Amino acid sequence: MKTIGFIGTGLIGNPMARRLLTQGFQLKAHDMNPKSLQSVLDEGAEPVQGAADFQDTDAVLIVVNNMDQVNAVLLGEQGLVPAWKDGPMPIVIIMSTVSPEDVKRLSERLPTGRPRLLDAPISGGPILAEQGKLAVMVGGPEEEFTRALPIFEALGERVYHMGPLGSGEAIKLVNNMVGITSFMIVPEALALGVEYGIPVERMVEIINASSGQTFVTENWAMFSLWLDAALQEDDPFGAREALFTTGRKDLETARKWASSQKYATPILDRVIDGLATMDMKFLLDRIRSILEAKK
């Protein structure tokens, strides 16, 4: 596992790709956005023109936004599968957050054994991706997981093999139902405390010693940087996109998956409805009040 194909160098894919380069992997990278791709090329990745250029890689990582894009990457006219009519194929690792049912349906559409699939969504965000401290949740055959393990260990300090194909996506959506909801409620709660006059750091200290502790409060120093980035015009960590676009997409994916299992999610439904009606300026003003109270 030395030569890696990497498709999707956006918000989370970009620091992941650069992390792999720092760990000694050779990367062939592609993204439809030349600007997001360029920083990866500047670090030593090789640009590719089409799917056929990935044929001599050991694995191809797909880090695109949704299942339509995953399907296009693999099965579209310019996709990986049509490009590889003969010869061995690398392991294809879907690292996007998508439905486990969609991953299994995709597998059924592929020629038998071509390519070998893993689903391996990640959690932690761009800052932890840069540091190689993501959590990686993998579904798929044990043999392919073992072969790809050096890649996962380069990206994350916590790697979990969850079971059959699709099970990585399943636990990622379960995680995101909790994680994204807490990402939204913590600023709202802290802003309320600020209004009452409680110091932000004191609130975080007490929450972390109490039942309200979350990933956000436990990693408050990092999360504060992320919130501050959301207020900047260039939004260097893509915080606004994560909150209002990617986060909502992941919750919608979780709801769709739950519905396919005939599982009711009334609380999730309320969270999604709340995000749909929330004005971005409203949330950013809340964030601003918290950060200004820290000064």
At 152, list the tokens.
């996962």
The one-letter code for the residue type at 118 is L
CA 146 – CA 161 distance, rounded (Å): 9
CA 8 – CA 5 distance, rounded (Å): 10
Q: What is the mean pLDDT of residues 93-107?
A: 96
Q: What number of H helices and E strands is found in the chain?
A: 15, 9
Instruction: Give me the CATH number covering residue 111.
Output: 3.40.50.720
Domain C-terminal end among 131, 165, 199? 165
**96: containing domain:** 3-165
User: What are the two backbone dihedrals, phi and then psi, of residue 24, each rounded to the nearest 5 degrees?
Assistant: 95, 5
Amino acid 295: pLDDT: 64
Q: Are 284 and 176 contained in the same domain?
A: yes
Residue 100 preceded by cis peptide, ω within 30: no
Q: How confident is the model at residue 78 (pLDDT cuts 50, 70, 90)?
A: confident
| Cβ proximity of 150 and 1 under 8 Å | yes
Contacts of 194 (CB under 8 A, 6+ apart): 200, 289, 290, 293
What is the DSSP track for 163-199? Answer: ESTTHHHHHHHHHHHHHHHHHHHHHHHHHHHHHHT--
Residue among 67, 34, 28 at smallest CA distance from 51: 28
Amino acid 84: pLDDT: 77
Q: What is the mean pLDDT of residues 209-238?
A: 88
Average pLDDT for the chain: 91
Q: Are 274 and 236 contained in the same domain?
A: yes
CA 141 – CA 163 distance, rounded (Å): 7
Segment holding 139, helix H or strand E: strand 134-139
| Cβ proximity of 216 and 186 under 8 Å | yes
Q: How confident is the model at residue 113 (pLDDT cuts 50, 70, 90)?
A: low
Amino acid 127: pLDDT: 86
User: What are the two backbone dihedrals, phi and then psi, of residue 145, each rounded to the nearest 5 degrees?
Assistant: -60, -45
Instruction: Give me the CATH number covering residue 278.
Output: 1.10.1040.10
Q: How confident is the model at residue 83 (pLDDT cuts 50, 70, 90)?
A: confident
At 86, list the tokens.
């003969």
| Cβ proximity of 138 and 159 under 8 Å | yes
Q: Are 81 and 31 contained in the same domain?
A: yes
Amino acid 151: pLDDT: 97
| Cβ proximity of 275 and 184 under 8 Å | yes
CA 189 – CA 181 distance, rounded (Å): 12
Domain C-terminal end among 116, 135, 165? 165
Q: Are 267 and 152 contained in the same domain?
A: no
Residue among 212, 184, 189, 174 at smallest CA distance from 277: 184
Q: Are 161 and 183 contained in the same domain?
A: no
Q: Are 19 and 155 contained in the same domain?
A: yes
Q: Are 194 and 234 contained in the same domain?
A: yes
Q: Are 106 and 202 contained in the same domain?
A: no
Q: What percent of the chain stands above pLDDT 70?
A: 98
Question: Domain total for the chain?
Answer: 2
CA 200 to chain centre: 28
SS3 137: strand
Q: Are 125 and 242 contained in the same domain?
A: no
Least confident of 73-82, 234-243, 261-270: 234-243
Q: What is the mean pLDDT of residues 150-172?
A: 97
Q: Are 189 and 257 contained in the same domain?
A: yes
Q: What is the mean pLDDT of residues 246-253?
A: 92
Amino acid 54: pLDDT: 86
Would you say residue 120 has pLDDT above 80? yes
Contacts of 285 (CB under 8 A, 6+ apart): none
Domain C-terminal end among 134, 165, 196? 165
Q: Are 187 and 149 contained in the same domain?
A: no
Q: Are 215 and 70 contained in the same domain?
A: no
Least confident of 44-58, 114-128, 136-150, 163-177: 44-58
Would you say residue 243 has pLDDT above 80? no
Total Cβ atoms within 10 A of residue 107: 16
pLDDT tens, position by position, 192-208? 999 999 999 999 999 99
